[in-house]
Homo-oligomer: A and B are copies of this chain.
């Protein structure tokens, strides 16, 4: 099944203990769609500037990602500069130029309207909601957000949550959204806001899925997937978006959304997140094969399974 994703396509300049990379192709929708492209057909809605040239287009084309929903606007693409030199777990933002992203009005090509899977990457919840409403036939809708929207745009965000099946956020965001420092209690509060499933990403410690209790699902309501202990984290930018791409891409490739499919999707999320950290920008995600992905999936199983 095809996934439509709305989010940022951007250029990043990043410094980490491993080095520095100038203006590499990045942005949540880029990480997400590259990661998901190994599993299913992906369609992107975004806006870019005149600096988005044939080289960047070629990256999407090589993965057969539909870019008809990427609008070209006069000016420059979204640009972010950050440093992880002091702390690999948290970026220090040095510069953010919204550029053409400041006036982003997501436009849904007609060819996207039949998408049964929709991913709302981390953008203004007002825009997330608009895209959600323009995809009434979506069978499964997942989304991301960040501290900025939780803190200063909560009413709009709460409206989005009502229309989400799955929310993917990190520990800090979950605690902030729920106003509760206990992760289990926070998860229950967030599930009360709309989503049927909450995925809390713990960075290098993996991720936990919390499922809303239902008459059909009285048993296991939690699942924990690992992250790969990495010898060198070159650049953690986009790991969360790549997790979402692997997770949602795998789900969209399944004919039936069984509990087992959600568990495997959590593992594939971790797999794609681990690849994303191995190079600057989206470089590593551009060069994978399904075979390499499945080899790492097997490694994740070995890392966690008793037998």
Interface size on A, residues (CB 8 A): 35
The distance in angstroms between the C-alpha atoms of A185 and B204, with both chains bound, is: 14
Inter-chain contact B306/A306, CB cutoff 8 Å: no
Inter-chain contact A267/B306, CB cutoff 8 Å: yes
Inter-chain contact A229/B183, CB cutoff 8 Å: yes
A residues 182-238 with Cβ under 8 Å of B?
182-185, 187, 202, 204-206, 208, 210, 220, 222-226, 229-233
| A256 on interface, CB distance cutoff 8 Å | no
Return the contact of A306 from the options B184, B232, B264 (Cβ within 8 A): B264
The distance in angstroms between the C-alpha atoms of A304 and B187, with both chains bound, is: 18
- Taken together, the copies of this chain in the complex come to 2
| A302 on interface, CB distance cutoff 8 Å | yes
Inter-chain contact A303/B184, CB cutoff 8 Å: no
| Minimum C-beta distance from A226 to chain B (A) | 5
A residues 72-131 with Cβ under 8 Å of B?
88
| Minimum C-beta distance from A201 to chain B (A) | 12
Inter-chain contact A306/B263, CB cutoff 8 Å: yes
Inter-chain contact B306/A230, CB cutoff 8 Å: no
The distance in angstroms between the C-alpha atoms of A222 and B181, with both chains bound, is: 30
Inter-chain contact A303/B223, CB cutoff 8 Å: yes
Q: Which residues of B contact A223 (CB under 8 A)?
A: 303-304
Chain B residue with the shortest CB-CB distance to A188? B231
The distance in angstroms between the C-alpha atoms of A182 and B187, with both chains bound, is: 29
Inter-chain contact B267/A304, CB cutoff 8 Å: no
The distance in angstroms between the C-alpha atoms of A185 and B225, with both chains bound, is: 22
The 10 closest A-B pairs by CB, nearest first: A205-B205, A184-B231, A224-B226, A184-B229, A263-B306, A304-B304, A220-B302, A224-B303, A224-B304, A222-B229
